[in-house]
Amino acid sequence: MLAACMFLVCVILSMFCCDAGAETVTLGPLSIYIDMSCVPDPYVVTRGEIEEMHESFNCTVYSTTIGHANDVILELHRLDREMNVSVERMIPFAEHLLPRGWSTEHGDFEVDGHEGVLINATDLYYPKMRLICFSPDGDDGWGCEIIVARSTVWGNRSIDLFRSIRVL
């Protein structure tokens, strides 16, 4: 009987611990699930909306920074009308998060079942930075929401972090 009770307690505690690094972050009208167990210090700071122009679109940007050293930045760019959300059209939404002079390469990357782009940025003197862009409402090739995530978390942990993103 004691063994059965101990087993039940272990099962219940493991249910609480398995998502210990998970977090739901609110970006304007969207809630985003992200596994922050890869972030050294998952301290979350959410900023209010910022109005800006992007090409000929009015855009509202919602931003969240994760970690005391800004290890991860999440942004939602909400456009006033739909646009073609091809890889080439989404990359400019991430460029303001890239330091000038860094080399970049990009490739296709799927996030939460949505087509997106993974950008690897490198510099001779600094660790690698990775970014993703995808449109959660752009499955038909047109969308008005673009999510950008930037990570400076060491190694392949950025990839694991990006794969954990879910739009709720």
Which pLDDT tens digit goes with each residue over 122-156? 998 888 899 999 999 998 899 999 999 999 988 78
pLDDT on residue 1: 53
**CA 123, CA 100: separation in Å to the nearest integer?**
10
Checking if the pLDDT of 10 tops 80, the result is no
Alpha helices (runs of H) in the chain, residue ranges in sequence order: 2-17, 87-90, 157-163
Checking if the pLDDT of 19 tops 50, the result is no
All residues at 6 or more sequence positions from 117 whose CB lies less than 8 Å from its CB, including other chains: 87, 90, 91, 106, 107, 108, 109, 132, 133, 134
Confidence of residue 167 (pLDDT cuts 50, 70, 90): very high
The pLDDT tens digits for 51-64 are 887 777 899 999 99
pLDDT on residue 116: 94
pTM for this structure?
A: 0.82
Q: Please provide the distance, in angstroms rounded to a whole number, between the alpha carbons at the two ends of the chain.
A: 41
Confidence of residue 87 (pLDDT cuts 50, 70, 90): confident
pLDDT on residue 110: 94
- Cα torsion angle, 17, 23, 105, 68, sign: negative
With a pLDDT cut of 70, the percent of the chain lying above it is 87
